[in-house]
Amino acid sequence: MRHPVTAPGRTENRHSVLIETIGVTKAYGSFVALDGVSLSIAQNELVSIVGPNGAGKTTLVNVLTGLLKPTAGVVRFKNEDIAGIGPVLLAKRGMARAFQLVHVFPGMTVAETIAVAVVSQMRRSFDFLAAIRSDSGVRARVQEVAAIFRLDGKLDTEARLLSQGEKKLLDIASAFALAPEVILLDEPTSGVSTGDKHGIMRTLVDAARSAGIKAIILVEHDMDLVAEYSSRIVALKGGKVLADLPPDAFFSDPEIAEAVVGKLFGQSKAAH
């Protein structure tokens, strides 16, 4: 059974489009990482971006989150140009990407890690350690976010002591703490055991619903997760959009699936 944020399918209502790229190209000298990429993501969609290594997924994610300015083309979020504005300004406008602070500050506790985002979102004191001790609003928000991701029992635990699955949830919780309208998740289950992957995905999709997240962009190599949770799949190859389809149509076309994921697709289906 598929578990997208809402029913699959593309909306035709332009007012519901949150993110769009039009003819986006990103070149590094003679190397073209993205070549005329156009796509749109609307409210209530979970759109997965897939493709083989070197397809342009990372470059597209960095363009969508304002880290890179395209060589040509348009990138809009809520009808505003966001090309190259950077993730901090973009987060203030309502789009967030998982911080991965666990890997940067492994000695911080769960509460402190979430508090960094909470304090930033509330635009309060930059001394988040002082804020978490003395600001009841910050403490309440930290507790609320931790509970959504079932981390409220480990608020005083250092991030480095969490399981790999819990570390992933903490990364995502930090992004959710910014109260975004759109969240981008880049390989949220990488390094997590197969048995834990669906649990993490169910938790974050449920959290998105409860937090009022309007859309999710997912970069994921696990095709079982992509098939289970996506509203649409945008497949890249050689920096171009090869397909933009609902999961049923994507996986029913063996040429597209083979071109995008090769042997991984065959192995995934053979295992089931």
Is the pLDDT confidence value at 195 over 90?
Answer: no
Mean pLDDT of 160-168: 90
Q: What is the percent of the chain with per-residue pLDDT over 90, rounded to a whole number?
A: 49
CATH architecture of 95-179: 3-Layer(aba) Sandwich (3.40)
Provide the sign of the torsion angle of the four alpha carbons 53, 55, 57, 58, taken in this order: positive
Domain extent listing, the chain:
1-92+181-193+212-272, 95-179
Mean pLDDT of 183-196: 85
As a whole number of angstroms, the distance between CA 22 and CA 107 comes to 42
Is the pLDDT confidence value at 104 over 90?
Answer: no
More confident residue, 31 or 137: 31
Residue spans of alpha helices (H) in 107-246: 110-122, 128-134, 136-148, 164-176, 194-211, 223-229
pLDDT on residue 7: 36
Mean pLDDT of 252-265: 73
Are both 1-92+181-193+212-272 and 95-179 of the same fold? yes
Query: Which two tokens mark 104?
Result: 């940067």
Give 64-103 pLDDT, tens digit per residue.
999 999 999 999 999 999 999 988 889 889 999 876 666 7
pTM: 0.83
Give 14-70 pLDDT, tens digit per residue.
568 999 999 999 999 999 999 999 999 999 999 999 998 889 999 999 999 999 999
pLDDT level of residue 121 (50, 70, 90 thresholds): confident
How far apart, in Å, are the Cα atoms of 256 and each of 47, 59, 221, 242, 261? 17, 21, 15, 8, 9
pLDDT on residue 10: 44
Determine which of 41-50, 96-105, 123-132, 156-165 has the lowest per-residue pLDDT on average. 123-132
> Do residues 91 and 49 touch, judged by C-beta distance below 8 A?
no
> Do residues 220 and 187 touch, judged by C-beta distance below 8 A?
yes
- CATH 3.40.50.1000 holds for 1-92+181-193+212-272: no
